[in-house]
């Protein structure tokens, strides 16, 4: 599966993509808002394999794609959409990028492409996303893509010695 954006190519993962993912998931800037304090090669290989396995689902309900730079082929992150169940009108999105590529509008562009795919190809009506409230950049990515804040789950997560509020965002097809 391939999705083109003005500056990016989103494609299905292959197992050999894991070193590129490992390189950025170990970055402290990336790890700051996650439960993880570090990542191991085994963990990242399993992480990538999970996305490879999605490609064999019948019918396929999960599409977590590698975000790449077309000129070099470099894997700089992932972005995807998953239906809540086969044939559902509802889906959830998730995305992440290498910190070396932040602040260039790439996440906004990748999310726009995955949303188009969801609304037109998958025929979904409602797409939701959640994030920790400290993740201001991620909230902006959603707002720039027409998502609305639907709720705040206070102290929903606990890791790294503190509680984290979680924000729920969603966009429906007409918006």
Ligand X SMILES: CC(C)(COP(=O)(O)OP(=O)(O)OC[C@H]1O[C@@H](n2cnc3c(N)ncnc32)[C@H](O)[C@@H]1OP(=O)(O)O)[C@@H](O)C(=O)NCCC(=O)NCCS
Binding residues vs ligand X (CB under 6 A): 30, 33, 95-97, 102-108, 131, 135-138, 140-141
What 3-state class would DSSP assign to 15? helix
Task: Count CB atoms within 10 A of the CB of residue 33.
Answer: 16
We find the least distance from the C-beta atom of residue 139 to ligand X, in angstroms, to be 8
Contact 171, 149 (CB under 8 A): no
Instruction: Report the residue number, 56 or 136, with the smaller CB distance to ligand X.
Output: 136
Contact 149, 167 (CB under 8 A): yes
Instruction: Report the residue number, 21 or 124, with the smaller CB distance to ligand X.
Output: 21
We find the least distance from the C-beta atom of residue 114 to ligand X, in angstroms, to be 12
Task: Count CB atoms within 10 A of the CB of residue 2.
Answer: 8
Contact 13, 65 (CB under 8 A): yes
Instruction: Report the residue number, 36 or 87, with the smaller CB distance to ligand X.
Output: 36
**What span, in angstroms and rounded, lies between the C-alpha atoms of 97 and 52?**
18
Q: Are strands 126-132 and 148-159 parallel, antiparallel or unpaired?
A: unpaired
We find the least distance from the C-beta atom of residue 54 to ligand X, in angstroms, to be 18
We find the least distance from the C-beta atom of residue 147 to ligand X, in angstroms, to be 11
We find the least distance from the C-beta atom of residue 101 to ligand X, in angstroms, to be 6
Instruction: Report the residue number, 51 or 106, with the smaller CB distance to ligand X.
Output: 106
Instruction: Report the residue number, 4 or 140, with the smaller CB distance to ligand X.
Output: 140
The helix (run of H) or strand (run of E) holding residue 21 is helix 18-25
């Amino acid at each position: 599966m391939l999705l083109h954006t003005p500056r990016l190519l989103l494609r299905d993962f292959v197992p050999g993509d894991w070193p590129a993912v490992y390189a950025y998931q170990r970055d402290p800037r990336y790890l700051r808002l996650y439960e993880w304090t570090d990542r191991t090669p085994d963990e990242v290989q399993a992480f990538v394999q999970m996305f490879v396995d999605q490609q064999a689902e019948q019918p396929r309900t999960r599409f977590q794609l590698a975000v790449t730079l077309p000129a070099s082929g470099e894997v700089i992150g992932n972005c995807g959409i998953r239906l809540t169940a086969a044939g559902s009108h509802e889906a959830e999105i998730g995305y992440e990028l290498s910190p070396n590529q932040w602040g260039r509008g790439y996440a906004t562009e990748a999310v726009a492409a995955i949303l188009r795919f969801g609304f037109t190809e998958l025929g979904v009506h409602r797409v939701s996303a959640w994030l920790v409230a400290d993740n201001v950049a991620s909230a902006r990515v959603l707002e720039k893509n027409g998502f609305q804040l639907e709720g705040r789950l206070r102290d929903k997560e606990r890791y790294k010695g503190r509680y984290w509020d979680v924000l729920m965002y969603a966009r429906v097809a007409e918006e």
